[in-house]
Structure 1
Amino acid sequence: MLDRPLLRRALVAATSLMLAPLALLPVMETAHAGGSRLGNISAATYQTNGRVSAIIVVRNTIYIGGDFTAVRPSGAAPGTREVPRAHLAAFRADNGRLRAWNPGANGSVSALATSADRKVIYVGGKFSRLAGARRHNAGAVKAATGAITRFHANTNGEVLALYRTRSRLYLGGSFTSVRHTHRKRIAALTLGGRLIRTWHPGANNSVRTIQVSRDRTKVFLGGEFNIVNGRSEPHLAKLSSTGKLLPWRRHPGFPVWQIVLTKKRVFAGGNGPGGRVAAYTTGGRKAWSIQTDGGVQTIALSDGALLAGGHFRNVCVGNIGGPQIGFDCLQVLAPRAHLLALSPKTGALRPWKPHANSGLGVFSLATSASTVYAGGVFTEINEAPQQAFVGFPRS
């Protein structure tokens, strides 16, 4: 007969084994958890007639870029009350009104950034003219008027990512040259547009996102690449300010579309299989991850929550690895139609759940003190007509 102390130890061990898998599963937080000020109800914002791929909020102005050629007021049907805006537009943040700012580009805009003094908007994408001037895939315009500045970058491929520090503008994309100088999908320029020739790392495939640490000593890259500086660095890499590759412990098993950086965490969102959001330490140790049944194309921090947008419809229970074509959750934790909110600390799912339609969903997120903005390819929000751009005020 088993003695009582041994029986107690056996029961504790068995219980621990049964409960251990549960700790690895994503969970849902209550409606009273942090970030609950996010509202599901959308505000009356302008719409566009095509994809919104980039959003930045600068003081009382919301700048957007994408694949559209016109904007129209909330409630207006497609093709009615349209105002021409070629891939770039700006609205007042306080009342949502369209601003006169209208630089225009002759091709798609994928990335936006602002200067430290908020007087210049840097623009990246796939175009050859910006504000009436010749600019190949990257340029800069004045924030107040939209007039072109002297900034030149001129890449031979699309610019997908921009990040501005105190003295540099980092570019990422699919290009292989910048200002007629060889650069493999990542480059650094002065804020006036001069190529920094001493900084020349390279990636073997597209760089979609760039983030820089607060002390400006570390540069984080995400994208479709597998090799950086000749070494295997799948989808996420950390560089020094001199371009040297720095150690990263555990790489994502998915192409990274966006990185969000805090003092102690690196958050990554991306595709495949299905979609993923993962949190890492700044040294690359994985803290948590969640999986969706469609790609995660954008992430952002807002009011103590980590927001994600993409073309998913559900959050899955558990994580399933390995290559596959298409993806469905084996078990659904909760439905989320292209937008969701997570706890940055644990990855637990939060109650925020506005509904966006379309197969492609949400491509961009940005936040102000009072509103979360989302852009993409949707035509409805919460089953009401609203195309490609929307704001969600905090309650």
Structure 2
Amino acid sequence: MKPQTRTPGHRRLTRAVAALAAGLVGLGLTAAVGAPAQAFDPQHTVMQGSQTTMGQTDGPVWTLEMTGDRIYAGGQFTSTRPSGAAAGTGETGQGFLAAFDEATGAPITEFAPKLTNDYNGRAGVVRASVLTPDGSQLIVGGDFNLVDGKRANYLARFDARTGAFLGQVGNNGVDGPVQALAVSPDGTTLYVGGRFSRAGWSARKNVAAISLVNRATLGWAPTVSTPTRNEALRVTALAVSSDNQRVFLAGPFQQVNGSAAQGFAATDAATGALSAGFRSNYLYAPHSWGTAIEVADNEVFLGSRDDFTSGSRRNEGVYSLDATTGAVNWYANCYGDTFGLQVVGGDVYVASHAHDCAAAGGHPELNPRTYLAIHALNRSTGVVRPYFVQTSGNLDDANTRLLSRALASDGNQLVMGGGFLRVNGAAQANVVRFLAGSSAPEKPAYPTATAGPGYVDLRVRLGYDRDDTQLTYKVYRGWQTSAPIYIETRESVMWRTENVTFRDTQVTPGQQVYYRVEAVDPSGQSVMSVRTATVTVG
């Protein structure tokens, strides 16, 4: 077979396409798992898909906030430890609410509040958090009623810069566990969701609004009712529109104020009445319900889950809605419950256990099933962008197999919390962070060479990248890297094993040769393969 001439500066290399029986090996594409990848959105994400240094916790992280120089994590953990430290090494003993340095990721040991619950003797787990708009205060909610022995009924305030405890929220907090918090953009009102029956001295069922000016319980009091199957009635997510006019709530409910509202509703921020224009059935009855809400400018993003419905009537993806009218901008249908959302620039990062995003341009259902702890969507279109973060845990401990539950960002980095022991194959427990930029290819190509009479066949198993799908492969003969003998750009994804075979005919009988292959991502970062064994041309 005649060699093909490639672009100027490249040497000629034969790509054989006949059958093995004829003695020629073709440009091989073998899919070990599943179908070819979908058409990912080509624009690069803001964040890298490979992690950087970050402290760890010994249990799940349910909520995260980022200030000017701190990362606050709340959850069901009893200690933190440094990045890279094995369990039991360097433990701080700081439980349920902890701070980490935003620059280094190291635990901040001087922040050490003690959260407890003397009503029921249970752990003081933190399940929700929010920063005031000016960034001065951190407000947390959960299962505690004491902070450092001082009364703080399920809600507590801290100085976001120093971490100092500032007391409970409102006149008497609430009388049951808190699972959702939101602050109005003007900083005057805290909206609270969870499972409780009173706020301050007023009856409030599962939702309440508390003044951050005079501590009073306010009049916003929508009524949620009719729980979804096998779920306790509660509110698990809250957000406020950028114009202060609407409060969005989500959870395992089917009615709000006596009207149908499957798992999500938009209400008047003052009265709690349902807002005009918003549908009652963004999510499918009777089992789908909202789990995460994020507001950015005039968009509201809604994530959901459904543990019982099968087929196409299962809502587990993400909606983009007009925050004023309720009109649908797009719906990204990914199967695998959504738990957290974070908008950064043109990206919407989704904390989930997505396993089938084919309908949104992402990876299809595979066998064995492939889960992503974070995937990214194009904010304008909802199409999946290349972003492949994975976690894993201990099969005997359900708290280490939660993948991701919370996201936070300051625009320069993205932090994820959840329940896991490894991130992208490396040891990292329950909290991890990613810096802005592009990661180098994570897995290099792997070449093997086989000599024949007057040629060498080079079989290359392609690599992959955590935040790119289009990788360029440069084939080098020997140690020189100034002039590759072949260049090929291929879609490369971690769940598909792809092998490409090249035939080098620019060799002579008796010549001893070896090869290396460089994988280069669109940003120019690269990783070099190991060299093949030296082979003698027949």
TM-score band by shorter chain is 0.7 to 0.9
Q: Match of 1:275?
A: 316
- Secondary structure in structure 2 of the residue aligned to 1:136: coil
Tell me the amino acid that sits aligned with residue 220 of structure 2.
Answer: W
How has the CA–CA distance of structure 1 residues 357 and 316 changed in structure 2, closer, same or farther, with 3 Å as cutoff? farther
Q: 2:433 & 2:360 partners in 1: Cα distance?
A: 31
Aligned partner of 2:176 among 157, 178, 185: 157
- What does residue range 1-395 of structure 1 map to in structure 2 within 5 Å? 27-30=39-42, 33=43, 35-99=44-108, 100-106=110-116, 107-143=124-160, 144-149=162-167, 151-152=169-170, 153-165=172-184, 166-191=187-212, 194-204=215-225, 205-242=233-270, 243-247=272-276, 248-249=278-279, 250-253=281-284, 254-272=288-306, 273=314, 275-282=316-323, 283-317=325-359, 335-358=370-393, 359-395=401-437
List per-residue Cα deviations over 1:30-83 (Å, max 9, x = no partner): 2xx1x5232111111000000111111111111110001100111111122111
Q: 1:145 & 1:265 partners in 2: Cα distance?
A: 32
- Shift of the alpha carbon at 1:232? 1.2
Tell me the amino acid that sits aligned with residue 349 of structure 1.
Answer: V
- Shift of the alpha carbon at 1:291? 3.0
- Secondary structure in structure 2 of the residue aligned to 1:227: strand
- Shift of the alpha carbon at 1:27? 4.7
- Secondary structure in structure 2 of the residue aligned to 1:317: helix
**Contact 2:153–2:168 (8 Å) recurs in 1:** no
Tell me the amino acid that sits aligned with residue 252 of structure 1.
Answer: L
Using the size of structure 2 for normalisation, the TM-score is 0.63
Q: Match of 2:479?
A: none
- Secondary structure in structure 2 of the residue aligned to 1:275: coil
- Shift of the alpha carbon at 1:147? 2.4
List per-residue Cα deviations over 1:131-184 (Å, max 9, x = no partner): 321222112123314324253443222111111122111101122221242112
- Secondary structure in structure 1 of the residue aligned to 2:248: strand
Q: 1:150 & 1:136 partners in 2: Cα distance?
A: 7
Q: 1:360 & 1:372 partners in 2: Cα distance?
A: 18
How has the CA–CA distance of structure 1 residues 318 and 371 changed in structure 2, closer, same or farther, with 3 Å as cutoff? closer
Using the size of structure 1 for normalisation, the TM-score is 0.84
| Unmatched tracts of structure 1, length 5 or more | 1-25, 320-328
Query: Root-mean-square deviation (CA), in Å?
Result: 2.3
- Shift of the alpha carbon at 1:373? 0.3
Tell me the amino acid that sits aligned with residue 263 of structure 2.
Answer: H
Q: 2:273 & 2:326 partners in 1: Cα distance?
A: 16
**Contact 1:151–1:193 (8 Å) recurs in 2:** no
Tell me the amino acid that sits aligned with residue 164 of structure 2.
Answer: G
Say which is worse superposed, 46-55 or 74-83, in terms of deviation: 74-83
**Contact 1:289–1:347 (8 Å) recurs in 2:** yes
Q: 2:107 & 2:366 partners in 1: Cα distance?
A: 44
Q: 1:286 & 1:177 partners in 2: Cα distance?
A: 35
- Shift of the alpha carbon at 1:281? 2.3
- Shift of the alpha carbon at 1:112? 1.1
Tell me the amino acid that sits aligned with residue 277 of structure 1.
Answer: V
List per-residue Cα deviations over 1:169-218 (Å, max 9, x = no partner): 11011222212421121110011572334222221231111111122111
**Contact 1:281–1:287 (8 Å) recurs in 2:** yes
- Shift of the alpha carbon at 1:295? 1.0
- Secondary structure in structure 1 of the residue aligned to 2:129: strand
**Contact 1:337–1:357 (8 Å) recurs in 2:** no
How has the CA–CA distance of structure 1 residues 281 and 214 changed in structure 2, closer, same or farther, with 3 Å as cutoff? closer
| Unmatched tracts of structure 2, length 5 or more | 1-37, 117-123, 226-232, 307-313, 394-400, 438-538
Q: Match of 1:12?
A: none
Q: 1:314 & 1:378 partners in 2: Cα distance?
A: 21
Say which is worse superposed, 100-109 or 62-71, in terms of deviation: 100-109
Moved over 6 A (4+): 329-332
**Contact 1:313–1:338 (8 Å) recurs in 2:** no
How has the CA–CA distance of structure 1 residues 52 and 80 changed in structure 2, closer, same or farther, with 3 Å as cutoff? same
Which structure has the bigger radius of gyration? 2
**Contact 2:392–2:403 (8 Å) recurs in 1:** yes
